[in-house]
Amino acid sequence: MTTPFELPPNPDRKWGRFGEIVEGYNQEVFNEREVRASAGILFLFGFSGFVTVLNTQDFRLVQGFALFFLIDMIIRLVFSPKYSPTMTLGRLAVYWQRPEWVSARPKRLAWGLGFGLALTTCLLMGRLGAPVPVVLTMCGICLSVLFLEAAFGICVGCFLQQRLSNEQPELCPGDTCNYVP
């Protein structure tokens, strides 16, 4: 039995892989419950900073959040999501729930979009000294995407990957790849 801090041993894990190899699945996967929990954690901190900027025009909290978000996305994309602070907290939060395995490839696109949004926001607040409405618009876009993931299980990156890729994912959150209403 593994603890929330460790994943099951995986002798097939190779550097450069994205996702986990889980018995019974023929592709790399992530636990969607962990991903949604980490999105909720990021949303909570991001929304706090957003409201602070609206009320005080003080960017310090949002700057700190944007930098943390950027570093979190870099860790997920470059090293492994299991080392991401918010994914670790998400794993702890849902440890006693049955995992819902989803394809890892769409998550790479989703987190790449998150990285792009965070990098752009950091540049706007720092080097470019953008006006408050521009920064709040970028923060609003990022928070909207986080809220869709955390509250409704809608992965915008996964949706885009379904529409733009020739190779369709098989395991989508909520089985959206196969479900026709």
Tell me: the pLDDT tens digits for 123-133? 888 777 778 78
pLDDT of residue 46: 92
The residue ranking higher by pLDDT, 41 or 22, is 41
Q: Which of 34-38, 40-44, 164-168, 175-179 has the lowest mean pLDDT?
A: 175-179
Edge to edge, the sheet with strand 28-31 lists: 20-21, 28-31, 101-103
Within its chain, how far is the Cα of 178 from the centroid?
Answer: 22
- The strand pairing partners of 103, in sequence order, are 29
The residue ranking higher by pLDDT, 85 or 177, is 85
Look up the pTM and report it: 0.84
pLDDT of residue 4: 55
Within its chain, how far is the Cα of 170 from the centroid?
Answer: 19
pLDDT band at 2 (very low <50, low <70, confident <90, very high): low
Average pLDDT, the chain: 84
pLDDT of residue 11: 46
pLDDT of residue 136: 85
70: CB partners within 8 A, 6+ apart? 115, 118, 119, 122
Does 44 score more than 50 pLDDT?
yes
pLDDT of residue 6: 55
Does 137 score more than 60 pLDDT?
yes
- DSSP for 145-175, please give it: HHHIIIII---HHHHHHHHH-SS--SS-GGG
Write out pLDDT tens, residues 56-67: 888 788 888 889
